[in-house]
Amino acid sequence: MITVSDEEFATLIEDAFQTIPKAHKHAIENVAIVYADEPTLEQREKLRLRHDETLFGLYEGVPLTHRQGMTSYGPDKITIFKWPIVSSVDSMEALREQVRHTLWHEVAHYFGLNHEQIHALE
């Protein structure tokens, strides 16, 4: 496992956001992109995660495809989980790529893609 400060991790997320294609990046509105060390107990319970499962990222909100033109929804949130990602890699290059991939995956959920569609695009 590598060591990375919170500031470095935040910078990795910012850098990853810059890799999202411009058209998609400009379509993202009212979404907080944050990081946390790990998923909360409530997040784990809501997703019915077993004790041996974890998350790299989580989108919480109403996907654009489900809004039916309504704009009165509160802010959406994408959380990138630091410790599960850092624990899964052995280099800064791998960390950078995993953060990028995780952020892209969660942004895809914001746009309404499900896991099957996301994996087909990968």
What's 47's domain CATH number?
3.30.2010.20
Domain containing 102 equals: 6-121
> Given this model, what pLDDT does residue 17 score?
96
Number of structural domains, the chain? Answer: 1
Distance separating alpha carbons of residues 94 and 103, to the nearest angstrom: 14
What is the rounded average pLDDT of the residues 93-122? Answer: 86
In a domain, 1, yes or no: no
Distance separating alpha carbons of residues 66 and 109, to the nearest angstrom: 11
**Distance separating the N- and C-terminal Cα atoms of the chain:** 26
Between the alpha carbon of residue 15 and those of residues 9, 19, 85, 103, 117, the distances in Å are 10, 7, 16, 10, 25
For the stretch 32-88, pLDDT in tens is 999 999 999 999 999 999 988 889 999 998 787 776 666 666 789 999 999 999 999
**Is the pTM higher than 0.85?**
yes
**Strands annotated E in the chain:** 31-36, 57-60, 76-81
Of the ranges 56-65, 93-102, 110-119, the best mean pLDDT one: 93-102
